[in-house]
Structure 1
Amino acid sequence: MSIVSDNQETSKLFDRFKWFVVLVLVALVVWGNFYFAEPNAIYQVGTVIRVIVVVIISILALLLAMTTLKGRNFINFAKESRVEMRKVVWPTRKETVQTTLLIAVITIVVGLCLWGVDTFFLWGITKLTVLGH
């Protein structure tokens, strides 16, 4: 095996370990939050302290997840998405109102056409069947 291959294997193994630690931290947050919320828990912890601990451990888990390969890929994707969002030309208020009204009018016209076709077929079927005596 080459040095690069060994390095990649070590990196993958380390990433898996990091994801395991993230999973353990999340499980610890969920378990601890429910356990210390119980009235018969050994140690009574206030809601404010529980929220602070949940936020701190969640931030630690998130930061650890962001140091993995998938986390770095996600950060790069978010940065590229932000750059692309800046390139978007958003419609003006006038264009938005005009497009909305056009869609509403087209929807009403198509609805009326379908109602007319449905009424025509209903009239034809009632004339041809027993319902139309």
Structure 2
Amino acid sequence: MSAIHTESSKSSLDGLKWVITVLLLVAIIAGNYIYGESVHIIARILICLVLAALAIFSAAMTEKGKTFIEFATDARSEVRKVVWPTRQETVQTTLIILAVSTIVGLILWGLDGIFVRVIEYITTAI
């Protein structure tokens, strides 16, 4: 029974955190619109950055935010495991792809020309 109560309290706190996040983002947009001309640009940028950092922090404290941060951390560690090709390998692979694409394109162009001639011959002969 207490597990259900704990889960519902977490979800209600998550809801509150999401409301705070949305309100901070709305404050950024509204404040920038309302005080666009009267406040110096540097001050507006700093205020927007602080509010955006607070919004990100608030979103990161939710269950979905924690899940996203864990996913991003795992993705970064997986990207570090990738063995990237050397410049020479990349150039060679690119040239092979260009050559094969050109050859296939020429073959399709030739087949198209043959089919056009055959259909032209059939339609004029009938």
**TM-score normalised by structure 2 residue count:** 0.94
Amino acid at match of 2:109: W
Partner of 2:6: 7
In the other structure, the counterpart of 1:41 is none
Aligned-pair RMSD on alpha carbons? 1.2
- Structure 1, unmatched stretches of 5+, are 39-43
2:79 to 65, 85, 92: 85
**2:46 matches 1:46:** no
Normalising by structure 1, we get a TM-score of: 0.89
Identify the structure with bigger relative contact order (alpha carbons < 8 Å, sequence gap 6+). 2
Whether 1:58 aligns to 2:52 is: yes
What's the offset of the Cα at 1:77? 0.7
Q: Secondary structure at the match of 2:83?
A: coil
Q: Which residue of 1 aligns with 2:15?
A: 16
Deviates more, 1:102-111 or 1:120-129: 120-129
Alignment identity in percent? 38
Q: Give the 3-state SS of the residue equivalent to 1:129 in structure 2.
A: helix
Higher helix share: 2
Which consecutive aligned stretches of 4+ in structure 1 deviate over 3 angstroms post-superposition? Answer: none
- Between the two proteins, the alignment pairs up a number of residues equal to 125
What residue ranges of structure 2 are gaps of 5+ in the alignment? none
